[in-house]
Structure 1
């Protein structure tokens, strides 16, 4: 349809429609991604994930970068003209998103997501991992249910040690969402008591010795301390699996 030669703007031009399929490289802006760092939006606790994610999305949309975090939109072909620009921007957006998270949450995502270098895969990992921690029940029956699940979390109820460790962290996070103020040494002791059959007594006894050397376990075992042991267990399980595979290959 031809456009009328006039200065009368009472009728606006129709929106431009793309000629081909839209991929993540469609209409990438000519901006430096460091501009995003002028818009801090820090997620400190998983309970606020959904609100935080919406803020991240809208900030990116303002700069026409929102498609980079949508794994439902196809990526560009590697030989397309915008491929290199898309890759660089995707990595930079991913780094900005991680900058807006508590480092322990970033570590959890990278640990569990097979690939988390690009923006869409990092956000997919965040969706899968952190949304399970957002529920914050307030009904007394829900509170009792979460407490019983947390206290009764046992290794024998799960097919793998890794699944048990994740569940324990999930249940403990729910208690924090409800502000029940369970001290971090409680899930730590549950973890060590239940995981010994998988990691061996040497691993567990070393952690017990460190606890015995503390002046006050209730004060010295912080949430961060528990999270570090949580990751130590996961990394140790990974190393055991890797050693097992090498032996089987030989």
Structure 2
């Protein structure tokens, strides 16, 4: 019976016996409806305020992908564009205030990557 109690405590989050509590994701991290990563359109630079220079060396072999990606990420991070290539960050809603800038900058980054 003691094992069942321990399993129950782990299932509802670090011994929290409040069944209405927000479930724990992992050790001490609580999933909240109020917390968000935002969208890919958050904190974008102004269009035309940066220059993306040609990538050197271009990606030629799949074995080089990790190094190439890390270089791409660092460049885009320097311009606050890295969120555009992170598939884990949601895209903005079509009617979001900055959706049009997101589309324009996404097309620019895609062109730069190709």
Q: TM-score range by the shorter chain?
A: 0.5 to 0.7
Deviation at 1:84, TM superposition (A): 0.6
**Count of matched residue positions in the alignment of Structure 1 and Structure 2:** 79
More helix by share: 1
Aligned mates of 2:62, 2:50 — CA distance in 1: 25
| Corresponding residue SS for 2:44 | coil
**Structure 1 unaligned regions, length at least 5:** 1-18, 99-250
When residues 31 and 23 of structure 1 are mapped into structure 2, their CA distance, relative to the original with a 3 A threshold, is same
Aligned to 1:90: 106
**CA root-mean-square deviation:** 2.0
Deviations 1:62-96 (A, max 9, x none): 00000000010000110011001101101110111
Tell me which structure has the larger Cα radius of gyration.
Answer: 1
Deviation at 1:31, TM superposition (A): 4.0
Indicate yes or no: 2:76 matched with 1:60.
Answer: yes
1:64-213 map, 5 Å: 64-98=80-114
Aligned to 1:241: none
Deviation at 1:32, TM superposition (A): 2.1
Deviations 1:186-218 (A, max 9, x none): xxxxxxxxxxxxxxxxxxxxxxxxxxxxxxxxx
C-alpha contact (below 8 Å) 1:33/1:89 kept by paired residues: no
When residues 58 and 83 of structure 1 are mapped into structure 2, their CA distance, relative to the original with a 3 A threshold, is same
- TM-score, normalization by structure 1: 0.30
Q: Which has the higher contact order (CA 8 A, sep 6+)?
A: 2
**Which of structure 1's runs of 4+ aligned residues deviate more than 4 A?**
none
C-alpha contact (below 8 Å) 2:47/2:101 kept by paired residues: no
Indicate yes or no: 2:73 matched with 1:40.
Answer: no
Aligned mates of 2:50, 2:79 — CA distance in 1: 12
Deviations 1:98-148 (A, max 9, x none): 1xxxxxxxxxxxxxxxxxxxxxxxxxxxxxxxxxxxxxxxxxxxxxxxxxx
Aligned mates of 1:32, 1:63 — CA distance in 2: 11
| Corresponding residue SS for 1:36 | coil
- TM-score, normalization by structure 2: 0.62
**Structure 2 unaligned regions, length at least 5:** 1-33
Aligned mates of 2:52, 2:85 — CA distance in 1: 14
Deviation at 1:20, TM superposition (A): 7.1
C-alpha contact (below 8 Å) 1:33/1:93 kept by paired residues: no
More strand by share: 2
